Amino acid sequence: MTSLLSAIAQVLAALGALLSVGSPAAVPAPATAPTYVAMGDSYTAGPLIPHQLSDPPGCLRSDHNYPHLVAEARGLSLRDRSCSGAETEDLASPQAVRGGPNPAQLDALDAAVGTVSVQIGGNDIGFHEALQACAAPLPLGTPCQDRYVRSGTDEISRRIAATGPKVAAALAEVRRRSPTARVFVVGYPAILPEVHPGCWPLMPFTPGDVPYIRDKEKELNAMLATQAAAVGATYVDVYGPSIGHDACQLPGVRWVEPLIPLAPAAPVHPNALGMRGMADALLAALAP
């Protein structure tokens, strides 16, 4: 039996040699996939959404965040540099995180990059700090507005205006490093309902404060859209598609988890469904 198997192997080897005669010396490697660089904060990274990556672990970056979903759908080679807690300054400088640092996100860019997405600004304005500060023990009054709007000055609006030039500088640097890339600025999805006064205590904001918080998120998105237009980038609206999928909706409908998440996600952050929704919005923008 052993000699028979050996003979068969020799015959197959000989046939292989014969069949290779006249063939090219090497099979050309498939073309390199176009490169997509994703930059952003926790709304890009996907904290606590399975499966969490470890490069570095403190970024809480998921392999099912919207950059990964988009790259898979479009056959792109992904460089995902998003990191939870990132501010605009972390695009240009290393960010200290557990197991880090996370390298400067802009360093992922080069002249060959074809697609770039940027989702940043929420941490610059202290949006999640404000959400914590605005939580009310009773659904009464307007404690959030009382805290942030004083003597005719809206502190959140001031922060949004101050963040605009930082976003502009980052986008200009994207253009300088990757001059032929298609650049997409991704907004933030709806956290609170569009029409009714919230869902205290699931999201512990008073009915009087819900319109204010909702308007501040829209103001942030409007600033991002303005900065995108100024450099010829495409603004990707994820707020519109997410209406009706806010944190007050039922599991399986909402894109953003409430203060106490039921799906694997960080509090008041996108879940896997939200990442899918944002991916669809970016894919639609990529379509032309």
**In the Cβ-directed half-sphere of 135, how many Cα atoms lie within 13 Å?**
13
Domain ranges of the chain: 32-286
| pLDDT band at residue 30 using 50, 70 and 90 as cut-offs | very low
Annotation says 178 is catalytic:
no
Q: Is the pLDDT of residue 13 over 50?
A: no
What DSSP line would sit under the chain, residue for residue? -HHHHHHHHHHHHHHHHHHHTTS-SSPPPPPPPPEEEEEESHHHH-TTSSSBP-SSGGG--BTTSHHHHHHHHHT-EEEE---TT--THHHHS-B--TT-PBPPGGGG--TT--EEEEE--TTTTTHHHHHHHH--SSS-S-HHHHHHEETTEEHHHHHHHHHHHHHHHHHHHHHHHSTTSEEEEE-----S-SSS--BTTTB---TTTHHHHHHHHHHHHHHHHHHHHHTTPEEE--HHHHTT-STTSPTTT-SB--SS-SSSS-TTSB-HHHHHHHHHHHHHHH--
Higher per-residue confidence, 20 vs 207: 207
Between residues 9 and 282, the one the model is more confident about: 282
pTM (2 d.p.):
0.88
Which pair of structure tokens corresponds to residue 218? 């829209």
- Mean pLDDT is lowest, of 16-20, 131-135, 210-214, for 16-20
- 175-201: average pLDDT: 97
pLDDT tens digits, 190-221: 999 999 899 999 999 999 999 999 999 999 99
Question: Among the options 3, 42, 77, 178, which is catalytic?
Answer: 42
Burial 234-243 (b: 16+ CB within 10 A, else e): bbbbbbebbe
pLDDT in tens, 66-123: 999 999 999 999 999 999 999 999 999 999 999 999 999 999 999 999 999 999 999 9
pLDDT score recorded for residue 32: 79
- As beta bridge partners, residue 235 has 185
Does the 32-286 domain belong in CATH 3.40.50.720? no
For residue 178, name the pLDDT band (cuts at 50, 70, 90): very high
Would you say residue 7 has pLDDT above 60? no
Smallest CA-to-CA distance from 225 within 188, 187, 269, 259 is with: 187
At 51, list the tokens.
Answer: 């499966």
pLDDT at residue 196, rounded to an integer? 85
Computed over every residue of the chain, the mean pLDDT equals 90
Per-residue pLDDT at 31: 54
pLDDT tens digit string along 229-284? 999 999 999 999 999 999 999 999 999 999 999 999 999 999 999 999 999 999 99
- Min mean pLDDT across 9-18, 88-97, 161-170 is at 9-18
Give 262's contacts (C-beta < 8 A, 6+ positions apart): 251
Q: Is 62 a catalytic residue?
A: no
Rounded distance between C-alpha atoms, residue 86 and residue 49, angstroms: 18
Checking if the pLDDT of 25 tops 70, the result is no
Task: Provide the pLDDT for residue 191.
Answer: 98
